[in-house]
Every structure is written in C-alpha cells, then in structure tokens.
Structure 1
Amino acid sequence: MIRTFVAIDLPEESHAKISGIQSKFIGPGVRPVDPSLVHITLKFLGDVGEAQLAEIISALDKVDCPSFDSKISGVGAFPGLKNPRVVWLGADGDYSCLHGQVESLLSGIGFKKETRKFTSHATIARVTYLSGSRRKELISAMESLINFDVGSMHVDTIKLKKSTLTPEGPIYETLHEVKLL
C-alpha cells in the first residue's frame, strides 16, 4: 500500500519565511513541519494499492482548471486560535475549481468526498500537549502573525504525492504532475 495525497507545493523561495514564522512559536508541545515539505493539500487519499495508481492518475489528468495566482499569508489554527491543534498559513486564490474537480473526479473512482468545507491552507506545525502558559505564548505568537505575508505564487501544477512516514519525519515523492491550463 502507498500513502498518497494530492497537493500543490509552495515555492522554494517561501521556505526561509516559513522557517522564520515557525521560530516564533516552536517549543514544547509544537512540532514544526520541515519548510521544504510545506504544501497545500487538495485531497488526502490515504493508503492505496499500486494497481489503483493508474486509475487515480487517469482521473487527475482530467482536471480542467485554469492556472491562477495565490497569496500565502496569515497564520491561523484548526480548530481555532484558542485551541490550536494544527498551525497553518492561509492560501488565497481560486482553489474552488481545483478542489471541486479533484473531489468529483476521485469520488468517481471510489474515494469518499470530504464532508468538511475546504479551507486552502498550508500546515506549518502540529500541536501536541500545551501547558496553560505555553498555550498563551503560542496564541500570542499566532495572533502577532495573523497578517504576515509570505508572498505570492503562481499555481499551475497539482501533484500526486507519495508519503513515507519515518521516525525523522515524512518523506514525500512526486508520483505524477498535472499541468493546469
């Protein structure tokens, strides 16, 4: 089985800014994502068999959305700033076409549609346990970064990625790329 997801990579020039943001809140209870691995997930597929990869690739090749510009800015958290579990950067742009088509095309080959509303974002840290004072520190740091501008990028490619989990962190490999119009 291969652990897979469909994503948009952030440009290399954003990695230093992401690292700078992370440095403001990294500490006990917060695990940063390697800046070179930060991406916008359109759909997490989970474990799929190798035989199913061709069907997934064929479905993704039918994506028919125009390329667009996206602004990466602002720090937020799921489920919210007061109880952070996932710390993210916002991604503004026309992600609705991409997300909608990926969901539709992959549901046509048996993948369940996401029930939650899609929020385009790039995860930069995961939160485990926080003491009361540490939680206040993290919330304060995130609030100071709500309008932080990482920069803009042109979204012209989506990628089917393989994720191999290791004790040192995930290793991502691009299995297939789809160029947008």
Structure 2
Amino acid sequence: MTGIRCFVAVDLPEEMREEIGRLEEGIATAGLRLVRPELVHITIKFLGDVPEGGVGRVKEALATVKAAPFAARLTGMGAFPGRSVRVVWLGLEGDFTSLSDKVETALGPLGYPREERGFIPHVTIGRVGRPNARISRELLAKIGSRSALDLGSFTVDRFYLKKSTLTPGGPIYEDLAAFPL
C-alpha cells in the first residue's frame, strides 16, 4: 500500500537551528549522518504511510487535541542506545510528554498504536548508519564534553502534521496542517 509518509512534529525556532548547525560541526565524525539544521524538529509521533484518503481524518483527529502553549528548553546532548551509538540527540524540557499523550489519544481510534517504549522528548541531530566501537568512542567523547549544553528556551504554541518525501539527497518535509495550542 502506498500513501503519504507523515509525522506529527514541533518545529524549533530558526535561531536554535542555526546554533544546532554550529554544534553539528563540532561533532562531525566519519560514519555519522548529520541532520541538516533546517530539517531538525521534534517528532511527536511518526505515522508512516497514511493512505491519501486518510490524511483528512488524521487532520480532523489532530484538531481535537487541546493543550495550552508551554515553555520548553533545549538542553543536554546524548546518544541512543548507549555504548553503541546509533542516534545523537539534544535533550528537551517542557510538557512534550503530555502533548505526545494527547496526540496518541486522538490518533488511537484511527488505528495508530501507541509508541511501545513511551515518548522520550529529544531532537535527533545525527544517525550512525553502521555502528562500531571506533565511531561510538569518538562520538561519546565529543558528546561528553557537550552533555550539559543549554541552547535556551522557546515557547511551543503549535504542532504540525508533516509530509516526508524521501529522496537521494535527503528528506523533504512539507507542512500539511498546523494546530495551534
């Protein structure tokens, strides 16, 4: 089945994306694919391929999410899953877990299962294609010196339904709908 590859996300302020670009220069390592700063976002829920006829129902469900705007902070750097690095992330503070829960509740009746591992608020800035000990050692050393970084605060006052088109040059994201808080 083909459809429209979609996810629910919160965007970061432009000035934070610029700072993330500078941070990425400092952690660049062979084997690490960095996320282009203009594409960095906070994924609330990945939906996968949504049938074209189902996008309208997803929009309607997301429009029912009721939440107040909240203060957020981009702070800390780490890696998943740990010693064998697969993902490099920036940490988040704020009411993201509550927003995620409300999105999950709204989309549940449409057949989108809840995330099994629960929601971990983070911003992915890099992925390791083929993890190995050398890459992990290098990255953990670079991350360790930045583990307490603080990129500042921002207000989350909306979230988006986004379309993701995968291309050889990287993904292209398009806003399908915005939902104010």
Query: Is the pair's TM-score, using the shorter chain for normalization, greater than 0.5?
Result: yes
Contact 2:85 2:131 (8 Å CA) reproduced = no
CA drift at 1:167: 0.6
CA distance in 1, matches of 2:102, 2:131: 38
Contact 2:29 2:138 (8 Å CA) reproduced = no
1:35 equivalent in structure 2: 37
1:141 equivalent in structure 2: 142
CA drift at 1:26: 1.1
**Paired residues for 1:54-93 under 5 Å:** 54-80=56-82, 82-93=83-94
Q: Does residue 172 in structure 1 map to residue 173 in structure 2? A: yes
Q: Report the count of equivalent residues.
A: 179
Residue 131 to residue 64, structure 1, CA distance change in 2 (3 Å) = closer
Q: Residue type matched to 1:119 in 2?
A: I
CA distance in 2, matches of 1:138, 1:96: 27
Q: Residue type matched to 2:32 in 1?
A: V
Q: Deviations over 1:29-68 (max 9, x none)?
A: 1000011111111100000111101100000000101110
Identity of aligned residues (%): 45
Q: Residue type matched to 2:62 in 1?
A: L
3-state secondary structure, aligned to 1:14: helix
Q: Which runs of no fewer than 5 residues in structure 2 stay unpaired?
A: none
3-state secondary structure, aligned to 2:89: strand
CA distance in 1, matches of 2:132, 2:85: 12
CA drift at 1:130: 4.8
CA distance in 2, matches of 1:65, 1:132: 43
3-state secondary structure, aligned to 1:87: strand
3-state secondary structure, aligned to 2:48: strand
Contact 2:84 2:131 (8 Å CA) reproduced = no
Q: Residue type matched to 2:175 in 1?
A: T
**TM-score, L = length of structure 2:** 0.95
Q: Residue type matched to 2:122 in 1?
A: H
2:160 equivalent in structure 1: 159
* Residue 3 (structure 1) aligned to one of 2, 5, 9: 5
Contact 1:28 1:130 (8 Å CA) reproduced = no
Query: Where do 4+ consecutive residues of structure 1 move more than 4 Å?
Result: none
Q: Which runs of no fewer than 5 residues in structure 1 stay unpaired?
A: none
CA distance in 2, matches of 1:133, 1:118: 29
Q: Residue type matched to 2:52 in 1?
A: E
Contact 1:4 1:47 (8 Å CA) reproduced = yes
3-state secondary structure, aligned to 2:27: coil
